[in-house]
Amino acid sequence: MAARNIPHGSTNTSINIQWFRLMDLRLHDNQSLVKTIEFAKKDLTGILPIFCFDPRIFGNEARSEFGSIKCGPRRAKFILEGVLDLRKQLESRGSGFIVAYGKPEVEFVKILKMIDPNRDIPCRIFCQEEVCSEELLVDNAVRNAITRHYNKSNLHPVWDIDEIDKCSANYMPTLSDLGYNQQQIQHANTVHERGVMSFIGGETAALARCKEFIWDKDLIKVYFDTRNGLIGPDYSTKFSPWLAHEMRVANKSTYWVVFELLVRDYFKFFAKKHGNKIFFSGGTTTGAEKKWGSDKRHITAWKEGRTGFPFVDANMRELAETGFMSNRGRQNVCSFLAHDLNQDWRYGADYFGSILLDHDVHSNWGNWCAGAGMTGGRINKFNIVKQSKDYDQYGDYVRRWLPELKDVPVDFLHQPWTMSQFHQIESNCRLGVDYPDPIVPPYNPKQGGGKGNGDNRKRGVREQKKNNNNNNNRNRGRGQREDMKSLKQGQIIMKD
């Protein structure tokens, strides 16, 4: 985002505060940092890098209107690692880095008073511009607290500041300091053996992953074919946790990597354009608002991965255990909550915001708003069973996260409710006991699929041709399209 300068006064001596925020914990490609340096060189003034762990975001007391903690302990750990890595990088360049636990509008004033308690020091504050309401409220609070200079948009040494309570160039909070209990801390520190990979916060780890994926393993050339995978570290870039906090980075695969990176920026502009509408139940649509449900039993079953639909449940359990979920999984669980269960999609966006390692408010809420059909575009309702069969054909992913289904034959694995009593006994899986019955009736498509009637014979020829093309590439799931096709606006489409 472009930098902005909002002057409040002038003086011969000033301080440039580089305010690092949750989404820019990096030195590379950091526009606000570049702007800070430009002003410091021009005015021959110093730079004071600061990061604040805001209690309105971290800890058990920081809750959303839906009751979720705003930042789960696993993501908090990831951010702590990122802040620690940033401190090491700054120190290696001769700079200190002030870390504080408190509200920025309070901590900044404390720090300035420590530098010179006898006068109000004029300062400019440089930071990444935010566009959503909670972040803008913090911006306004800081602007009001710092009455001299305020600027939005490496390194000079910082002032030697004495340590004050929970704020210094040596201070780094623990998860306990941030307000998480021992059970949450233990969960955050547990690396699940079935997870896709181990994520470590920080720009250093982000650049290492970038190098590994693009150069060392040369995986970008097959990304288009593998991007709908579910298991392991290499089916997709896995850049997203770092993109949410630290990192920015001539064939079809390279095109799709770039395209999906641009989508993140698109959703920030989308949020800037529509403001708080992305948080409304009706989203950015106009006209009569859809009536959503709020059945706690359904929402809890969805969160815990106990809906009776294996593909949904496996993805939700992976999310709960690791803080990560594939893009294919995210689309399906969103569709299931909004369109199959008809529950308010904001419960899903809120839960993802609490749990995901790679949460950023624009991408998360923008994608959920779109997935629920609340942006005025096409509405994709996914056929969960068919998606499961297409992208987890042999059930490896489902069995990985649902051990109670490990002995269920693949013919029943994606729809276990079709098992007879005999098959349930034989598979050591009793429905309603070992694994839940479906919480809503499974989708039952009409003859010829969920896209209406038509010439089924011609459709069969087209499907056979498509499958033959797909079978030539072992990396592509049997249901993956070769190309995206546009659909009429406002249509409800059953996604096979």
Q: What is the CATH number of the domain that holds 67?
A: 3.40.50.620
Asked if the model's pLDDT at residue 395 lies above 60, the reply is yes
237 is in an annotated binding site: yes
Residue 439 Cα distances to 294, 295, 377, 398, 435, angstroms? 14, 12, 29, 18, 12
Q: What pTM value is reported for the model?
A: 0.75
pLDDT at 149 over 70: no
Q: Is the pLDDT of residue 248 over 70?
A: no
Is residue 359 a known part of a binding site? Answer: yes
Burial 394-412 (b: 16+ CB within 10 A, else e): ebebbbbbbebbeebeeeb
More confident residue, 333 or 171: 333
Instruction: For residues 217 and 307, state if they share a domain.
Output: no
Whether 194 maps to a domain, the answer reads no
CA distance 278 to 468: 41
- Mean pLDDT in the chain? 80
Model pLDDT, residue 416: 97
Reduce the DSSP state of residue 117 to 3 states and report it. Answer: coil
Q: How many residues does the chain have?
A: 496
Output the CA–CA distances (angstroms, integers) from residue 99 to 53, 117, 149, in the order listed. 8, 20, 21
- The per-residue pLDDT for 494 is 53
| Confidence at residue 13, expressed as pLDDT on a 0 to 100 scale | 62
Structure tokens belonging to residue 162: 């004495």
Q: List the one residue out of 401, 286, 271 whose CA is nearest residue 349.
A: 271
Please tell me the predicted confidence (pLDDT) of residue 220.
78
At 194 the pLDDT is 77
Distance CA 201, CA 25 (A): 10
CATH assignment of the domain containing 353:
1.10.579.10
Task: Give the sign of the dihedral formed by CA 369, CA 374, CA 376, CA 377.
Answer: positive
Q: Are residues 237 and 107 in the same domain?
A: no
| Of 295, 280, 387, nearest in space to 341 by CA | 295
Mean of pLDDT values over 258-280: 88
Checking if the pLDDT of 462 tops 60, the result is no
User: What residue numbers bound the domain in which 430 lies?
Assistant: 296-444+487-495
Of residues 261 and 485, the one with the higher pLDDT is 261
Give backbone dihedrals phi and psi of 357, rounded to 5 degrees, phi first. Answer: -65, -35
Helix (H, G, I), strand (E, B) or coil at 461: helix
- Higher-scoring residue by pLDDT: 151, 56: 56
280 in a known ligand binding site: no
The number of folded domains in the chain is 3
Instruction: Answer for the pair 169, 161: CB distance below 8 angstroms, yes or no.
Output: yes
Q: Could you tell me if 230 and 373 lie in one domain?
A: no
Which tops the pLDDT comparison, 291 or 164?
291
Range with the lowest mean pLDDT among 25-29, 268-272, 399-403, 469-473? 469-473
DSSP string, 350-363: HHHHHH-TT--HHH
Residue 450 lies in a domain: no
Last residue of a domain, one of 238, 272, 306: 272
pLDDT higher than 50, residue 266:
yes
258 and 305 belong to one structural domain? no
Least confident interval from 164-168, 287-291, 374-378: 164-168
Mark whether 252 and 354 lie in a shared domain. Answer: no
Q: Look at residue 42 in the predicted model and tell me its pLDDT.
A: 85
Most confident stretch, 23-27, 164-168, 336-340 = 336-340
Same domain, 61 and 181: yes
Structure tokens at 5: 């300068």
Contact between 125 and 62 under an 8 Å Cβ cutoff? The reply is no
Q: Do the domain assignments include residue 193?
A: no
- The reply to whether 87 and 122 lie within a common domain is yes
Question: Domain holding 222: CATH number?
Answer: 1.25.40.80
Residue 101 known to bind ligand: no
What's the rounded Cα separation, in Å, for the pair 295 and 342?
Answer: 9
Does residue 465 lie in a domain region? no
With both helix axes pointing from N to C terminus, report the angle between 361-371 and 327-335 in degrees, rounded to the nearest 10. Answer: 50
pLDDT(471) > 90: no
Q: Residue 351 CA to chain centroid, in angstroms?
A: 11
> Does the annotation flag 171 for ligand binding?
no
Cα–Cα distance for residue pair 59/63, rounded to 1 Å: 9
pLDDT of 6 > 80? The answer is no
